[in-house]
Homo-oligomer: A and B are copies of this chain.
């Protein structure tokens, strides 16, 4: 059942390694996720890897055995290889015992059902894959429907983003769109667009949030373009007591998302 691979120059190993680069991910429409916990989250969310790569010679965790059966039953491939090769594939010195190859999801805006959740996170030109993954993780925690990536953001299917999401890449919807597509889509239905902003903004605490609430966070160094802020229904600001005038983008999104959650729940929605 398992195919064994022992050589670094094996074409499958080369293929798997190539998925660490965005260019190859886009060519293949595939991405890599590592770790038993992540892959179990994926399975429980109805996503199975097409290829499962396991380190040989380790004791098989019951969850891994289950995963292996599920992948094989679905017609996927199971590969057994050395820890060294697994380290090479994932780019980590101490690799997890397992990694999987998944097909990238459909990230069309039109596939989103905005009424599926009271909160949506929206990031504009977010460049750090760690921040992106962290926003997915926060979205999962606040019961958001997903993360909408506006303009040129980091790739949500990069190893770093998938890792930082702690499995939320499989539970949150992900959409990618230009601002020029996003705004008409948003205005084509219900939805309040809220920006974390410093300009003409009211205190974030107790602001009149309404579901479905779209929380917009800007680029790490430049923030949101002025025109984007102007298009928002609500601009809110968090206290800044120190020298700095901004928070880390993922932190700002999280502080705001938890406030929106409290506001929506407090009003019984």
Using a CB–CB cutoff of 8 Å, the interface residues on chain A facing chain B are: 41, 44-45, 130, 134, 137-143, 164, 166-168, 171, 205, 238-244, 246-248, 250-251, 254-255, 258-259, 261-262
A134 CA to B137 CA, complexed, in Å: 17
User: A130-B130, A258-B238 known; A138 and B243 CB under 8 Å?
Assistant: no
Residue among A41, A166, A168, A241 with max Cβ neighbours from chain B (10 Å): A241
What's the least CB distance linking A222 to chain B, in Å? 13
Q: So how many copies of this chain end up in the complex? A: 2
Q: Which residue of B lies closest to A204 (CB)?
A: B258
Is the CB–CB distance between B137 and A244 below 8 Å?
Answer: yes
Please report whether the interface of chain A is mostly helix, strand, loop or mixed according to DSSP: helix
Is the CB–CB distance between A166 and B244 below 8 Å?
Answer: yes
The 7 tightest CB contacts between A and B, nearest first, are A143-B241, A140-B242, A251-B254, A134-B248, A255-B258, A140-B244, A141-B240
Q: Which residue of B lies closest to A205 (CB)?
A: B262
Residue among A164, A255, A262 with max Cβ neighbours from chain B (10 Å): A255
User: A130-B130, A205-B262 known; A247 and B241 CB under 8 Å?
Assistant: no
User: A238-B141, A254-B251, A261-B239 known; A244 and B168 CB under 8 Å?
Assistant: yes
User: A141-B239, A238-B141, A261-B239 known; A167 and B244 CB under 8 Å?
Assistant: yes
Instruction: Pick 23 A–B contacts, CB within 8 A, sort by A.
Output: A41-B243, A130-B130, A134-B248, A134-B251, A137-B247, A137-B248, A137-B251, A138-B248, A140-B244, A141-B238, A141-B241, A141-B247, A142-B239, A142-B241, A143-B242, A167-B244, A168-B244, A171-B242, A239-B261, A241-B261, A247-B254, A255-B258, A258-B259
